[in-house]
Amino acid sequence: MEIACQPERAIADLRALAELTGGPGGARRLCWTDEWENARGLLREALAELPVEVEIDEAGNLWARLAGARPETVVIGSHIDSVPNGGWLDGALGVMGALETLRTLAAAGTPPCTVALVDWADEEGARFGRSLFGSSAACGTLDPDSVRELRDANGVRLPDALAAHGVDLDRAHEATARLRDVRAYLELHIEQGPVLEGLGLPVGTVLGTVGVERNRVIFRGQAAHAGSTPMTHRRDSFLAAARFALAVRDAAVRHGGMTTTGGAASQPGVVTAIAGETALLLDQRHLDAGVLAALLAESQALAEEAATAEGCTVEWEPIWRIEPIPFDADLIAAARRACQSVAGSDRTLPSGPLHDAAEMARHVPTVMIFSSSTNGISHAKEEDTPIEHLELAIRAYAQTVGAAIDRVAAG
Using CB under 5 A, list all residues that contact Zn ion. 90-91
Nearer to Zn ion, 42 or 294 (CB): 42
Nearer to Zn ion, 308 or 375 (CB): 375
Nearer to Zn ion, 91 or 257 (CB): 91
Residue 364 Cβ, how far from Zn ion at the closest point, in Å?
19
Residue 357 Cβ, how far from Zn ion at the closest point, in Å?
10
Nearer to Zn ion, 77 or 111 (CB): 77
Nearer to Zn ion, 193 or 221 (CB): 193
Neighbours of 256 (CB within 10 A): 12
Helix (H) or strand (E) holding 174: none
Residue 273 gets which letter from DSSP? Answer: B
Nearer to Zn ion, 83 or 240 (CB): 83
**CA torsion through residues 264, 354, 130, 315, sign:** negative
Residue 83 Cβ, how far from Zn ion at the closest point, in Å?
9
Sequence letter at residue 243: R
Which backbone phi and psi does 164 adopt, to 5 degrees? -65, -15
Residue 397 Cβ, how far from Zn ion at the closest point, in Å?
15
Residue 94 Cβ, how far from Zn ion at the closest point, in Å?
7
Residue 183 exposure: Cα atoms within 13 Å on the Cβ side: 20
- Do residues 73 and 16 lie in contact, with contact meaning Cβ atoms separated by under 8 Å? no
What SS3 class is residue 84? coil
Calpha distance 97→209 (Å, rounded): 21
Calpha distance 265→329 (Å, rounded): 43
Nearer to Zn ion, 123 or 346 (CB): 123
Helix (H) or strand (E) holding 217: strand 211-220
Nearer to Zn ion, 11 or 252 (CB): 11
Residue 90 Cβ, how far from Zn ion at the closest point, in Å?
4
Q: Which of 241, 316, 252, 250 is nearest to 277 (CA)?
A: 241
Calpha distance 304→204 (Å, rounded): 40
Residue nearest to Zn ion (CB): 91
Nearer to Zn ion, 78 or 104 (CB): 78
- Do residues 357 and 209 lie in contact, with contact meaning Cβ atoms separated by under 8 Å? yes
Helix (H) or strand (E) holding 408: helix 387-409
Calpha distance 289→63 (Å, rounded): 33
Residue 206: alpha-carbon gap to chain centroid: 12
Residue 401 Cβ, how far from Zn ion at the closest point, in Å?
19
Q: Which of 113, 58, 102 is nearest to 78 (CA)?
A: 102
Calpha distance 117→96 (Å, rounded): 10
Strand ranges (E), 37-159: 53-56, 62-66, 73-78, 114-119
Residue 176 Cβ, how far from Zn ion at the closest point, in Å?
22
What SS3 class is residue 55? strand
Cα angle for residues 301, 303, 309 (degrees, 5° grid): 105
Nearer to Zn ion, 255 or 379 (CB): 379
